[in-house]
Structure 1
Amino acid sequence: MLDFLIDILMLCQYCHKSVSFFLCPRLIWRYFVQHTSTNLD
């Protein structure tokens, strides 16, 4: 779980640097959904 949170923080940093700020929540949400859905299976 900790690795997952670190990944999100890294993703958000990456978004702030190179991608539009408004895309960041969407990317994180997509990543989160993928992560949780694979964990549920």
Structure 2
Amino acid sequence: MTTVTFDEATRTHPGGDRPAVEALDLHVEEGGFLVLAGSRVPA
């Protein structure tokens, strides 16, 4: 069984002063479908 799980994940880009993602909770079970897309926009 394959799953993807993030618990309270936070990501700040190098040199960034605030998180791009903060306190992310995500759970995708086997057979699920997930697409993450985005861009880095300078502050």
Q: Which has the larger radius of gyration?
A: 2
- Larger helix percent: 1
What TM-score does the superposition give when structure 2 sets the normalisation length? 0.24
- Larger strand percent: 2
What TM-score does the superposition give when structure 1 sets the normalisation length? 0.24
